[in-house]
A and B are shown apart, each in its own frame.
Chain A
């Protein structure tokens, strides 16, 4: 079974803090993705990575950065958290080529106060 794990289910941070969200997959997938989910907006892609150290901006990259030093791990970084980054963050992974289904982690609900 594909397993995608995220470091926290719930996180509360203060405005201005640096926040790290970690995602690990165990299926040797090339692709990894970070989304945020907000009511009425569906899932929006923040960043994705198709290989180690490779990354591409998604639709809403502003205020975020990512890191992929190992194939199985993809980190999302909020350099200086703001209240408008309060959201559900979902990580996903998939094989590359021929768009394959993405497998999702359980999500991290981040609250920035």
Chain B
């Protein structure tokens, strides 16, 4: 069965600190996709990244970076030099290829960045 675990319920940091949000997944498939979404206080989920299981290269986009490690079934998200605008709930999600395009979401991590 598919499952996504985000063990960190809430994280608080001070601006300019680096912060890593953990995501651990379970799946029996060899082909799958992983996603990260951001949900700011306004409520609308915003897509951040999609990564397939064959691409283990780390990705960097500005202050955001993602570390995908199949050996530990993890897809962690790091924000470098955090800012107040990064305050949001972040969700990790999993989908298996060849299925119904459904996403299985983790329970989310609330990040609070204080000035």
Report if A84 contacts B (CB, 8 A): no
CA distance A75 to B33 in the complex (A): 27
Per-residue CB contact flags for chain A residues 91-113 toward chain B (1 = under 8 Å, else 0) read 01010111111111111000000
* List of A residues within 8 angstroms of B47 by Cβ: 101-103
A99-B101, A100-B50, A102-B103 known; A43+B44 contact, CB < 8 A: no
* List of A residues within 8 angstroms of B33 by Cβ: 98-99
CA distance A40 to B47 in the complex (A): 20
Report if B57 contacts A (CB, 8 A): no
- For chain A, the count of residues having a C-beta within 8 Å of the partner chain is 28
- Which among B33, B45, B95, B105 has the greatest number of chain A C-beta atoms within 10 A? B45
Report if A50 contacts B (CB, 8 A): yes
Contact (Cβ within 8 A) A50 B100: yes
Binding site secondary structure of chain B: loop
Report if B77 contacts A (CB, 8 A): no
* List of B residues within 8 angstroms of A94 by Cβ: 101
Shortest CB-to-CB span from A38 to chain B, Å, is 10
Report if A88 contacts B (CB, 8 A): yes
Chain B 71-115 residues near chain A, CB threshold 8 A:
91, 95-97, 99-103, 105-108
For the complex with contacts A88-B43, A90-B45, A94-B101, 20 further pairs of A-B residues with Cβ separation under 8 Å are A33-B102, A42-B106, A42-B107, A43-B91, A44-B105, A45-B103, A48-B102, A50-B100, A97-B101, A98-B33, A99-B33, A99-B96, A99-B97, A99-B102, A101-B35, A102-B47, A103-B47, A106-B42, A106-B43, A106-B44
Give me 5 A-to-B residue pairs in the complex whose CB atoms sit less than 8 angstroms apart, sorted by A's number.
A42-B105, A88-B43, A98-B33, A99-B33, A102-B103
Chain B residues with CB under 8 Å of chain A are: 9, 33, 35, 37, 42-47, 50, 91, 95-97, 99-103, 105-108
